[in-house]
Amino acid sequence: MKFSVSYQAFVLLFFLLLNSFGLLASALQEVQYGPEVKSFLELCHHEEVELDYQIRHHEIARKDFIRSKNRIAIQRQMVLKRVADNGEDLVPDLQVVTAEEISQLIEDGLKAVKGAKPGALINKKWIYLGTANRGEAYYIFERTQDLSNVTRPRVVTRNAP
């Protein structure tokens, strides 16, 4: 009887040690992100904290709270997917909009996206990345335009005395 109890305790201890080594190994293999992605994830966290504060203090409507939380989650998911796919420490300029907001982003609104497949170029400005459904449809776009061309630095020249 004592042998079977000590044997069971030994087996239990063995499995606990095995499990702890597995957790340690998985912690060591945890994905390490670069500074751009780390900053993006920190920004997402701060935005979520702010949203939680606003909803607790009744500063925003529940519908806006849910939409904003969903947008943050979708953006985070897309950035981490991109990092997992290509390993680059880059955060693309993503826009996540609902069907009623899409016309504010794209000239023809839903007509421009209808029938488009992920990867399609929309109005030479946006790459359609897909749709996420979280209670309502969210359309995900990545800006293709280089913003350095849009806002050029001013050059100041001075006349020599």
Instruction: Name the residue with higher pLDDT: 157 or 43.
Output: 43
- Summary mean pLDDT of the chain: 82
pLDDT (0 to 100) of residue 27: 46
Q: What is the DSSP string of 52-120?
A: HHHHHTT-S-HHHHHHHHHHHHHHHHHHHHHHHHH-------EEEEETTTHHHHSTTTHHHHTTPPTT-
> What band does 28 get if pLDDT is binned at 50, 70 and 90?
very low
Distance CA 75, CA 140 (A): 8
Mean pLDDT of 27-52: 87
pLDDT (0 to 100) of residue 32: 85
Residue 28 in domain: no
Residue 67 in domain: yes
Beta-carbon contacts of residue 51 (< 8 Å; ≥ 6 apart) = 60, 65, 68, 69, 72
pLDDT (0 to 100) of residue 109: 86
Distance CA 80, CA 96 (A): 15
Total domains in the fold of the chain? 2
pLDDT (0 to 100) of residue 6: 62
Looking at the fold, whether 63 and 110 belong to one and the same domain comes out as no
Instruction: Name the residue with higher pLDDT: 60 or 28.
Output: 60
Looking at the fold, whether 84 and 110 belong to one and the same domain comes out as no
Residue 19 in domain: no
Beta-carbon contacts of residue 82 (< 8 Å; ≥ 6 apart) = 88, 90, 92
Using only C-alpha atoms, what is the Rg of the chain? 25
Q: What percent of the chain has pLDDT over 90?
A: 60
Instruction: Name the residue with higher pLDDT: 149 or 37.
Output: 37
Boundary-marking domain end, from 61, 90, 119: 90
Looking at the fold, whether 73 and 104 belong to one and the same domain comes out as no
pTM for this structure?
Answer: 0.70
Looking at the fold, whether 97 and 141 belong to one and the same domain comes out as yes
Q: Which domain holds residue 80?
A: 33-90
Instruction: Name the residue with higher pLDDT: 8 or 13.
Output: 8
Q: Inform me whether the pLDDT recorded for 86 exceeds 70.
A: yes
Phi, psi of 94 (to 5 degrees): -100, 145
Residue 80 in domain: yes
Mean pLDDT of 81-101: 93
Residue 137 in domain: yes
Record the tokens describing residue 58, joined without a space: 């009744």
Mean pLDDT of 39-46: 97
Residue 153 in domain: no
Residue 136 in domain: yes
CB half-sphere exposure, 30, CA atoms < 13 A: 6
Tracing tokens 């992100």 back to the chain, one arrives at 33
